[in-house]
Amino acid sequence: MTTVRLAREDLHVSVSDPESASMNFLNEIAARFPDAIALAAGRPYDGFHTTDDLDRYLRTYLAHLEGLGLTHEQRQRQLLQYGRTNGYLGDLIARMLLVDEGIEVPERAVMVTTGCQEAMVIALRGLCAGPRDVVLAVEPCYVGLTGAARLLGIDVVPVPESADGLDPGTVAAVADAVRAGGRRPRALYLVPSFANPSGTSMPVAARRRLLDVAERAGLLILEDDPYGLFGLDDERRPTLKALDTGQRVVYLGSFAKSCFPGARVGFLVADQTVVGPGGGRTLLAEELSTVKSLLTVNTSPVAQALVGGFLVEAGCSLRAAGKEKTAFYRHNMRTLLDALDRWFGADPGVRWNTPAGGFFVVADVPLTADERMLETSARDYGVLWTPMSFFYGGGTGDRGRRSIRLSCSALEPALVEEGVRRLAAFVADRSEPGRPGPGGPR
Considering only residues 348-407, where is the footprint of a second copy by CB under 8 A? none
**Judged by CB under 8 A, which of 303, 333, 362, 420 binds a second copy?**
303
Q: Are strands 220-224 and 184-190 parallel, antiparallel or unpaired?
A: parallel
341 near a second copy, rule: CB under 8 A: no
**Radius of gyration, alpha carbons of the chain:** 22
Which is closer to a second copy, CB of 272 or CB of 407?
272
Q: Which long-range contacts (CB under 8 A, 24 or more apart) does 26-34 make?
A: 26/374, 26/384, 26/386, 26/390, 29/374, 29/375, 29/378, 29/384, 30/378, 30/384, 32/378, 33/378, 33/379, 33/382, 33/384
Read off the amino acid at residue 331. Answer: H
Ranges of beta strands (E only) in 150-302 are 156-160, 184-190, 220-224, 249-254, 266-269, 273-275, 281-283
14 near a second copy, rule: CB under 8 A: yes
67 near a second copy, rule: CB under 8 A: no
77 near a second copy, rule: CB under 8 A: yes
Phi and psi for 220 in degrees, rounded to 5? -90, 160
Which is closer to a second copy, CB of 7 or CB of 346?
7
d(CA 249, CA 240) in angstroms, rounded, equals 7
How many other CB atoms sit within 10 Å of the CB of residue 100?
Answer: 22
**Judged by CB under 8 A, which of 34, 35, 82, 346 binds a second copy?**
82
Q: Which positions from 29 to 48 touch a second copy by CB under 8 A, shown as an x/- string?
A: --------------xx-x--
Instruction: Specify the stretch interacting with a second copy by CB under 8 A; choose among 212-220, 327-335, 359-367, 386-394.
Output: 212-220
Q: Are strands 383-384 and 37-38 parallel, antiparallel or unpaired?
A: parallel
The three-point CA angle 372-377-378 to 5° equals: 100
Provide the minimum distance between the beta carbon of 114 and a second copy in the complex, in angstroms, as a whole number: 5
121 near a second copy, rule: CB under 8 A: yes
Q: Is 294 left (phi over 0), alpha (psi -120 to 50) or beta?
A: alpha
**Judged by CB under 8 A, which of 17, 100, 161, 167 binds a second copy?**
17
**Judged by CB under 8 A, which of 306, 365, 367, 408 binds a second copy?**
306
Q: Which helix (H) or strand (E) holds 404?
A: strand 403-407
287 near a second copy, rule: CB under 8 A: yes
* Nearest one of 282, 296, 341 to 121, comparing CA atoms: 296
**Judged by CB under 8 A, which of 272, 377, 386, 409 binds a second copy?**
272
d(CA 335, CA 189) in angstroms, rounded, equals 30
276 near a second copy, rule: CB under 8 A: yes
Provide the minimum distance between the beta carbon of 185 and a second copy in the complex, in angstroms, as a whole number: 14
134 near a second copy, rule: CB under 8 A: no
Provide the minimum distance between the beta carbon of 400 and a second copy in the complex, in angstroms, as a whole number: 21
Instruction: Specify the stretch interacting with a second copy by CB under 8 A; choose among 15-23, 172-180, 317-325, 417-425.
Output: 15-23
Which is closer to a second copy, CB of 151 or CB of 204?
151
Site for a second copy in 137-196 (CB under 8 A): 144, 147-148, 150-153
Which is closer to a second copy, CB of 1 or CB of 346?
1
Site for a second copy in 241-260 (CB under 8 A): 245-248, 256, 260
Phi and psi for 362 in degrees, rounded to 5? -110, 130
